[in-house]
Structure 1
């Protein structure tokens, strides 16, 4: 015999007393905007290449 407990939606972070996570700040930008961000030492821009090795080896970065 099993007993079903009621389910409640809650924030697991508040249960664990964790600080809320700041949301990620991703954006799709044009090449000219990227160039200006890369030249600005205060922009703190991070660039990630999401293409796999196979595509990079044939098409470049």
Structure 2
């Protein structure tokens, strides 16, 4: 269940999950980026935004 409802794993896994959600009509994602420091969390958030743009065709 965790893998189906969260964006965890490799970038390929996250990209695939975003595609599944997009196909199901999901148009809003609320990220909680992982990281030990603020910088790490911001980096994770930035990469997540890039993956969303890729899936959405706006890369």
| TM-score using structure 2 length | 0.29
The structure, 1 or 2, with the larger RCO (C-alpha pairs under 8 Å, 6+ apart) is 2
Relative to its length, the structure with more helix (as a share) is: 2
